[in-house]
Amino acid sequence: MIDYTRPIPCTKFINQSFTDQLAHIGSEVEEASIAYGDYVADVYKGDGDQQTKDKAHLAEELTDIITAATTALEMLGCDAEAREALQVMVNEKNERRGYWRDKDGRD
């Protein structure tokens, strides 16, 4: 059974070049940047209803980045177990660097 709560690599693209996949990640980042601009514009205009929609769109675009990166990791031969181990490693590194703070900005 597929666990839809975790990023699933888009295996349709596994055989494309890695350079193409990196370009795809870049295009997803660009889409997120545009979505963020839309969201900020709505905040500035005070348009609460559209702001809510654009915030959801931004969240979707950011999740697309995660999925595209997951596909790139799969292309490198990193299965779900390897990706989990990598995430633990990165989380531990970020913790050591002091990147985690509470919502009030305290360590």
- pLDDT at residue number 9: 96
Q: Could you tell me what percentage of the chain is helix, strand and coil, using 3-state DSSP and rounding each to the nearest 5?
A: 70, 0, 30
- pLDDT at residue number 81: 97
Three-state SS at 101: coil
Amino acid at 64: D
- pLDDT at residue number 29: 98
- pLDDT at residue number 4: 94
- pLDDT at residue number 103: 64
- pLDDT at residue number 48: 81
Taking the CA atoms of the chain, what radius of gyration do you get in angstroms?
17
**Local mean pLDDT, 10-residue blocks, the chain (107 residues):** 94 94 98 96 82 94 98 97 97 93 66
CA dist 7 and 46 (Å) reads 34
CA dist 11 and 16 (Å) reads 10
- pLDDT at residue number 26: 98
pTM for this entry: 0.88
- pLDDT at residue number 93: 96
- pLDDT at residue number 44: 79
Phi, psi of 87 (to 5 degrees): -65, -40
> What b/e readout covers 63-82, taking b as 16+ CB neighbours within 10 angstroms?
ebbeebbbbbbbbeebeeee
